[in-house]
Structure 1
């Protein structure tokens, strides 16, 4: 029995624009207003295989990225970053080289701050006496 592997078609430039726009939480209407076009025209742009370089530069500026970021956008890499950030926020930071858990610097800062507060409270109590 022959096993078929699912391979995803590469995203078109228009689809990459759409994904970046969505990741940034920007609506088509906003992009349209900044470009001076209608929302349906933005929708058509996001369906195109290629986008003219000047228009791509305008879109990139509005999205806060470079045209190269749009051209080289890779959804799989983005998902890896998102998963990594999810792990950080859930205190599951791993050192990818050794797969060992490492400390979370934010937790250490919070811990030091709490100790500082406790020390200040102690000082205040001593001064009150």
Structure 2
């Protein structure tokens, strides 16, 4: 049983990125100055030469590396963690899923404020003691 990974299908990656950008083959074809059939053939190709890939990447608004390393799993992970829903007023609500517990952060903030407040009190006590010492000398 072989554990070798399959090479990435560049044409399929181009197709998926184009679809995610809500761009039709015709629009990409116009941006590249080729026919829609050329784009269809390109998306069926496993490999694309670097010069052509650079031009396609520019038209799609991504880097050539993004096309080469495209992963649907990563896209779905991003979509799952940051999604947009429409509320009943017609406006969009964007939810960026927290990667931390907000209550824990609130408690950390409270503890930090408590420490800073204690340091402030100590500094004020030292200042008062110094002033009292100076007044006693006079």
- TM-score, normalization: structure 1? 0.62
Larger radius of gyration: 2
Aligned residue number for residue 24 of structure 2: 27
1:72 pairs with 2:50: no
Q: Deviation per CA, 1:56-107, whole angstroms, max 9, x where unpaired?
A: 0000000011101100111100100011112895757332xx5x357xxxxx
Tell me the secondary structure at the aligned position of residue 94 of structure 1.
coil
Map 1:49-68 → 2, pairs under 5 A? 49-68=46-65
Q: How many residues align?
A: 91
Evaluate the alpha carbon distance shift between residue 76 and residue 54 of structure 1 in structure 2; reply closer, same or farther with a 3 A threshold.
same
Q: How does 1:31-50 map to 2 (within 5 A)?
A: 31-50=28-47
**Structure 1 stretch displaced more, 81-90 or 62-71:** 81-90
Pair 1:55–1:90, CA change in 2 (3 A): closer
Tell me if structure 2 keeps the 8 A contact 1:14–1:45. yes
Tell me by how many angstroms 1:10 deviates.
Answer: 6.2
- Name the TM-score, length of structure 2 as normaliser: 0.58
| More strand per residue | 2
SS at match of 2:76: helix
Q: How does 1:103-122 map to 2 (within 5 A)?
A: none
